[in-house]
Chain A
């Protein structure tokens, strides 16, 4: 029987937080990658950007986002980094974490790498976000390392978790 979803690695942030969550030495034996993230940052505000690097690169990314706040929907472009979604930030409801799913098809192929993100922040207040994002990393190199980090130099808080799955189509 096929075992389509395989956990490659999981990270749970410990006391003191972490600047980044890293998955390295990702094997090329799968078809797609899926990352599930539950995260919170020390950055100010109710939400902050969850950024991604592939192979330690933050260059040649382009992203489009669609974001609903509970009162309006907006769309914007994001080209300065890889955009993975949102983290809950320091002034959101305490002990509350944002949820993000990043899907990367054909991560080991020789074409540019596209990815999609679904993300929500949760907050017992009027400002919270639901987001869809389209991303493209215009590099044909196979992805062997993924780094997650908070925008605005935030520290990823204790109890944040991220799990990387490999998905096989055979």
Chain B
């Protein structure tokens, strides 16, 4: 049986950190999937986590759809707000398509499940307007640190 999902790297934060970076990502897969169970030290509202590709925070276009338990909303940013984190460890999936293709811009779909003081269920469409192959992915909080005990696993997916 073909093994289409291959773990590339995994980590558990031993202490709170501003960010975590997967670097030296091989270009040998078709897509990437990042599974994150993380939260934020920021407790005044839901925090947004950001994605950085190859150290870049520009040339992003992000469209978000989310619900907080009382209202449904959609908005758009050029800051790479890719999902939500709260005061409890959540369940987030980030799917990055054609990350090593050097002729197309890079797109990602994220799904956020943050539960805690301020909880969000949401999805985000991310466009990075760059044809450069992605070789590093950084995830960081916007207003707080990523919680100790957060887990991050990066999988490579092969189409064939």
Contacts and interface: CB of A to CB of B under 8 A. Distances in A.
Q: Identify which of B6, B67, B72, B119 gathers the most chain A CB atoms within 10 Å of its CB.
A: B67
Interface residues on A, range: 35 or more
Contacts of B35: 32, 103, 105, 167, 169
Interface stretch (A48-56, A107-115, A148-156): A107-115
Contact of B113 (A5, A68, A114, A167): A114
Contact of B115 (A31, A64, A75, A106): A64
B63 interface: no
Interface stretch (B23-31, B49-57, B87-95, B127-135): B87-95
Nearest to A73: B72
Interface in A55-86: 62-68, 73-77
A152 to B, nearest CB: 22
B72 A116 contact: no
B68 interface: yes
Given A75-B67, A116-B111, A64 B37 contact: no
B70 A134 contact: no
Interface residues on B, range: 35 or more
Contacts of A73: 65, 67, 72, 74
A-side interface mostly: strand
A2 B6 contact: yes
A116 B92 CA distance: 8
A42 to B, nearest CB: 27
A65 B67 CA distance: 6
A134 B115 contact: yes
Interface of B: 1, 3, 5-7, 10, 35, 37, 65-72, 74, 88-93, 111-116, 119-123, 149, 151, 153, 155
Given A66-B67, A76-B70, A169-B155, 9 more contacts: A4-B7, A64-B69, A66-B122, A66-B123, A73-B67, A74-B72, A114-B88, A132-B121, A135-B115
